[in-house]
Amino acid sequence: MRLITKNIFKSYIAFILLLLTMNSSAQSNTDQWFCMTPEDLEIYTFNNSNVILNNFFFDESSSFMSNKYNVIEFSFSARNRNESYRHLNVQLIGLNSDGQIILAMQPDPLFDILSENSNEAVTADSYILGSVIDSIARICMIIYLDE
């Protein structure tokens, strides 16, 4: 009974997130969730307050440390064209075709800081059980950026 309730709750949360974030065309929104397909993520560019995020990329490989788990890596390029540093926090979830959350990651620059007038490669990786990347139907992200 508890497992059923937990799965219903997860599905309900994923459904609410999808309803709230159906418009992914806004290229400069921060502080709100937005969703897109993995294919759209590859060409997506975020541009706000002279901070540009692009070149989003997912990769999945076998783990060197574990025979049981794979490793999924998420990366993107971050460009800060400002004369001062910016705090950046990115959170993302991957949803399968049923709307269930199958991946959650938080790829951020070191100490959540983009240095002034800089380009940085931001990466995050996580262990996963089995193959997940081919099961992701939608990617939902929220980007927190101070201005």
Query: Which residues partner with 79 through β-bridges?
Result: 52, 119
66-70, 131-135, 137-141, range with greatest mean pLDDT: 137-141
Q: What angle do CA 136, 142, 18 make, to 5 degrees?
A: 55
35 CB-contact burial (10 Å; exposed 0-12 / middle 13-18 / buried 19+): buried
d(CA 115, CA 110): 10
In the prediction, which pLDDT does 2 show?
55
pLDDT of 11 above 60: no
pLDDT of 38 above 80: yes
pLDDT of 20 above 60: no
The pLDDT confidence band at residue 16, using thresholds 50, 70 and 90, is very low
- Residue at 120: amino acid letter: E
Domains of the chain: 2-145 (2.60.40)
Q: What angle do CA 22, 23, 27 make, to 5 degrees?
A: 140
pLDDT mean across residues, the chain: 83
| DSSP tag of 112 | G
79 CB-contact burial (10 Å; exposed 0-12 / middle 13-18 / buried 19+): middle
Average pLDDT, stretch 21-48? 75
Task: Read off the pTM.
Answer: 0.75
Q: Which residue has the higher pLDDT, 112 or 15?
A: 112
What is the phi/psi pair of residue 11, to 5°?
Answer: -65, -40
